[in-house]
């Protein structure tokens, strides 16, 4: 079975994982999480080549969705605070055919009101919220099972 390619995209402040509010986001760094997801991609059928990208900049996220994302078989995307208000990022997701799974480490619904709404969710394939960093792994396995079905 052919390999798949998955873009693992993280938005603003997720580069601060490990030291950023560890009671909410845990103590592992983004590099730790990316390493695990890249390794997990390799260890299963079909094999998934995971391309990790993080940016604090809205335009860079849009560019990455339009280029790497457009060519990928799936995007695992934690848009950080842009989730709640970036129409530009929503439009970028809507402009490509690649399915997107939106991931939030924390349960945004238990938190401040402004985190309850996602402008990305209506254009995403689905959402995984509040399961900590496991959300990234679960999203990867969902993409793997989708690709296996369509092979
Ligand atoms: C987050 C939730 C967002 O509200 C917040 O702005 C983040 C992280 C999460 O993973 O729980 O930066 O996306």
DSSP codes of every residue in 103-151: EESS-GGGS-GGGS--SSGGGSSEEEESSTTHHHHHHHHHHHHHHHHH-
Mean pLDDT of 122-146: 98
- Known catalytic residue at 3: no
| Per-residue pLDDT tens digits for 44-60 | 999 999 999 999 999 99
Report the CATH number that the domain containing residue 29 is assigned in CATH. 3.40.50.9100
By alpha-carbon position, which residue is closest to atom 9 of ligand 1? 104
Indicate the pTM of the whole model: 0.97
The answer, yes or no, to whether any atom of ligand 1 lies below 6 A from the CB of 83, is yes
Among 108, 112, 121, 128, say which to mutate for ligand 1: greatest number of ligand atoms within 8 Å of CB: 108
- How far is Cα 137 from Cα 47, in angstroms, rounded to an integer? 14
Q: How many domains does the chain have?
A: 1
By alpha-carbon position, which residue is closest to atom 12 of ligand 1? 80
| Boundaries of domain holding 122 | 3-149
């Amino acid at each position: 079975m052919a390999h798949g390619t998955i873009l693992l995209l993280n938005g603003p402040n997720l580069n601060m994982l490990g030291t950023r509010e560890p009671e909410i986001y845990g103590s592992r760094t983004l590099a730790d999480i990316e390493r695990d997801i890249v390794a997990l991609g390799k260890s299963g059928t079909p094999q998934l080549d995971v391309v990790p990208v993080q940016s604090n900049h809205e335009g860079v996220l849009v560019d990455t969705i339009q280029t790497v994302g457009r060519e990928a078989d799936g995007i695992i995307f934690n848009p950080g605070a842009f989730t709640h208000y970036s129409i530009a990022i929503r439009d970028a997701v809507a402009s490509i055919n690649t399915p997107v799974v939106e991931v939030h480490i924390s349960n945004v619904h238990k938190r401040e009101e402004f985190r309850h709404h996602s402008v990305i969710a209506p254009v995403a394939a689905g959402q995984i919220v509040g399961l900590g960093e496991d959300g990234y792994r679960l999203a990867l396995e969902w993409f793997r099972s989708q690709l296996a079905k369509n092979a």
